[in-house]
Amino acid sequence: MMLYTVILVVLVGIIVGVCYFSSGSFSREYNRMADLYRELSMFYTRMRESRSNAQNYFYNMTDEDLSRYYSSMGAAAKSLDTIMELVDDDYLWFRFRILGNMMESCGERFEEIRRGSNIRLGNTGNYQYLIYIFELTDGTQREYYSYLVDYTKVRQLVLRNSWWRLNLVVSVIVAGIFLAALVFSVNSSRWVTRPINSIVSNIQKIKKGEYDLSKVKDSGPEFSVLGEAFDDMANSIRANIQNIETNARLRHQLLEAENENLRMNELLIGSELKILQDQMNPHFLFNTLGMISQIAVMEHANQAAELMDITTNLLRYSLDKSNRMSTLYEELECVRNYLHIQQLRFGDRISFELKIDDDLPNVMLPGMMLQPLIENAVLHGVNEMLNGAVVAVSASRKNNLLCLAVEDNGRGMSGEKLEELLNGDFYPLENSTLDNSISGNSNPRVHIGILNAKKRIEMLYGNSTTFHVESTEDVGTLISISILCDEIPGLPGGGGYVHSNGC
């Protein structure tokens, strides 16, 4: 009953509000039209007074007549401004703007005559033209009244349409009141039966083991108490079942954790065994290479002994630094050993160049970063060249940039292939003879050296480094790495941006 009363009061309030708003709108529209007619009449009256005051001033030349003229012209201008504020039609506003221009022309002509004359001007041409403009302005009265009449008809049509819309809204609201009455009567008949049906439905759910009970609608204190009792009972049963399920789940997780611990122990034992085996294999290899080097010295094979020592140092460095951090000097020493081995192997077929500036900062670098780039230059760049092949490695410092470069004059690659390489779309090598001879692996491997070096240096220095690759088919490939010295760990400074063409 209270809900129905509230709905009824709201709908009646809407009707009263709509009627009040509409009546206010109609009243404001009527007052606006009346103000338009009144202000237009006052405008023409003030303009006639202004003409008379102008005539009196030019005949009498007194300050009193001049003051009356200015007063009447100001009143006319004020009336015209009020008209233009009330008009909301563009065409009518434009017409009244023309009327304002005519009034301004009268004022300007009056001021020209008054400033340029020291005698009475009863018969001068300027004076006659001024009177003509005043009369011409006064002659537009009928025309502008007709404009207002047409505008009034249009506004009457708008008001009539608004009236019909108001009647429609009121009719809809009245229909809403009748609909609310119908809904109220239907709900009243179900007011008592609904909570009973809800309680019966909840009993059936509990019997089936379902505890998500529907809420019993309050229709009296008795049903409210009964519904709360059912809710408490269902919540207690559900809480007990959840506790049982939680305990079972915890026991299951405990068993899984124990099994995981056993599995981890087995893996740990296996890992420790593998570590011991991995430690023994390199140790055995280094001892074997050392023994071969000593035998070579004893047999006066000094070049073979030197090659064995360089190979031992290179392998030891690759095992120690392959997945760890190194320094620039250690990397360059690794490059020097690698180039020495390759020079002995290829002889005059490939020329290896190493250019290192003095006083380079011994910065941190990912271990074994430069060697794969040189290997790629040999394997993919100049491997097929019979003579004139050059692989150049340089390390220099330009201003605040540390520049590392690996360049070859080999076959290069197309832009599409280079983009695939840098995007991670690896491709198998067609000719892996050189790589197989070094690694002892007969299977072709994937060309990942460049992308691997790029990711590792970017992970270490972030935005303070650039990794740039230029390659042209049948011309060669240039890989340049620029590191901003201000951002190098262990060096003073901080901040900056590395341009891709800094080196």
Cα–Cα distances (Å) from 81 to 74, 76, 107, in that order, read 10, 9, 16
Count the neighbouring beta carbons within 10 Å of the beta carbon of residue 280.
Answer: 10
Last residue of a domain, one of 300, 335, 358: 300
**Are residue 420 and residue 367 in the same domain, yes or no?**
yes
* Cα–Cα distance for residue pair 401/466, rounded to 1 Å: 10
131 and 225 part of one domain: no
Q: What is the CATH number of the domain that holds 382?
A: 3.30.565.10
The answer to whether position 497 is within a domain reads no
Integer Cα distance of 378 and 393 in angstroms: 12
CA 212 – CA 384 distance, rounded (Å)? 78
Stretch 64-91: mean pLDDT, rounded?
Answer: 89
CB 482 within 8 A of CB 402: yes
Instruction: Give the three-state DSSP class for 496.
Output: coil
pLDDT tens track for 136-189: 888 888 888 888 888 888 888 887 887 788 788 878 888 888 887 887 777 766
The closest of 97, 93, 85 to 151, measured between CA atoms, is: 93
**Tokens of residue 10, six digits:** 């709201």
At which of 282, 300, 318 does a domain end? 300
Looking at the structure, tell me whether residues 247 and 393 fall in a common domain. Answer: no
Residues 293 and 321 in one domain: no
The model's confidence at residue 225, banded by pLDDT at 50, 70 and 90, is: low
Q: Out of 291-295, 304-308, 457-461, 497-501, which region has the weakest mean confidence (pLDDT)?
A: 497-501
d(CA 190, CA 186): 7
Identify whether 282 is part of a domain: yes
Q: Give the whole-angstrom CA distance, residue 69 versus residue 51.
A: 8
pTM: 0.41
Highest mean pLDDT among 200-204, 314-318, 363-367, 402-406: 402-406
As a three-state string, the secondary structure of 121-132 is CCCCHHHHHHHH
pLDDT at 241 over 50: yes
Q: How far apart are CA 488 and CA 501, in angstroms?
A: 19
Structurally, how many domains does the chain consist of? 3
DSSP line for 211-271: --PPPPPPSSHHHHHHHHHHHHHHHHHHHHHHHHHHHHHHHHHHHHHHHHHHHHHHHHHHH
Q: Is residue 210 part of a domain?
A: no
Using pLDDT thresholds of 50, 70 and 90, give the confidence band for residue 500: very low
Are residues 262 and 337 both part of a single domain?
no
Q: Are 73 and 105 in contact (CB under 8 A)?
A: no
**Could you give the CA distance from residue 134 to residue 117 in angstroms, rounded to a whole number?**
20
The CATH number of the domain holding residue 151 is 1.20.1420
Q: According to the model, what pLDDT value does residue 448 have?
A: 65
Q: Measured in whole angstroms, how far is the alpha carbon of residue 126 from the centre of its chain?
A: 70
CA 219 to chain CA centroid, Å, is: 53
Across all residues in the chain, what is the average pLDDT?
Answer: 77
Structure tokens at 445: 């491997």
Interstrand relation of 350-356 and 364-366 (parallel, antiparallel or unpaired): unpaired
| Pairing of the two strands 401-408 and 364-366 | unpaired
Q: Between vectors from CA 486 to CA 485 and to CA 487, what angle results, nearest 5°?
A: 90
Mark whether 421 and 470 lie in a shared domain.
yes
In the predicted model, is pLDDT for residue 427 greater than 50? no
Give the number of other CB atoms < 10 A from CB of residue 109. 19
Residue 337 has pLDDT above 70, yes or no: yes
28 with 122, same domain? yes
Give yes or no: residues 237 and 366 share one domain.
no
Q: Which residue type, as a one-letter code, is found at position 121? A: L
Last residue of a domain, one of 183, 205, 225: 183
Highest-pLDDT range among 17-26, 55-64, 205-214, 283-292: 55-64
Cβ atoms within 10 Å, residue 292:
16
Residue 488 C-beta-side C-alpha neighbours within 13 Å: 20
Query: Exposed e or buried b for every residue in 375-387, given b needs 16+ CB within 10 A?
Result: bbbbbbbbbeeee
DSSP string, 411-454: ----HHHHHHHHTT---B-S--HHHHHHH---S--B--HHHHHH
Q: Could you give the 3-state DSSP secondary structure of residue 400?
A: coil
Which amino acid, residue 446?
Answer: V
Region of poorest pLDDT, from 43-47, 172-176, 219-223, 450-454: 219-223
For residues 498 and 503, give the distance between their C-alpha atoms in angstroms, rounded to a whole number. 10
Same domain membership, residue 130 and residue 26? yes
Per the document, the length of the chain is 503
Q: For residue 352, what pLDDT is reported?
A: 92
Residue 457 domain boundaries: 306-487
Residue 110 confidence (pLDDT) above 90 = no
Shared-domain flag, residues 286 and 317 = no
Same domain, 285 and 336: no
158: Cα within 13 Å, side-chain hemisphere: 11
pLDDT (tens digit, 9 = 90+) per residue, 299-329?
767 767 777 778 877 777 776 665 578 899 9
Same domain? 363 vs 469? yes
Inform me whether the pLDDT recorded for 441 exceeds 60. Answer: no
More confident residue, 118 or 71: 71
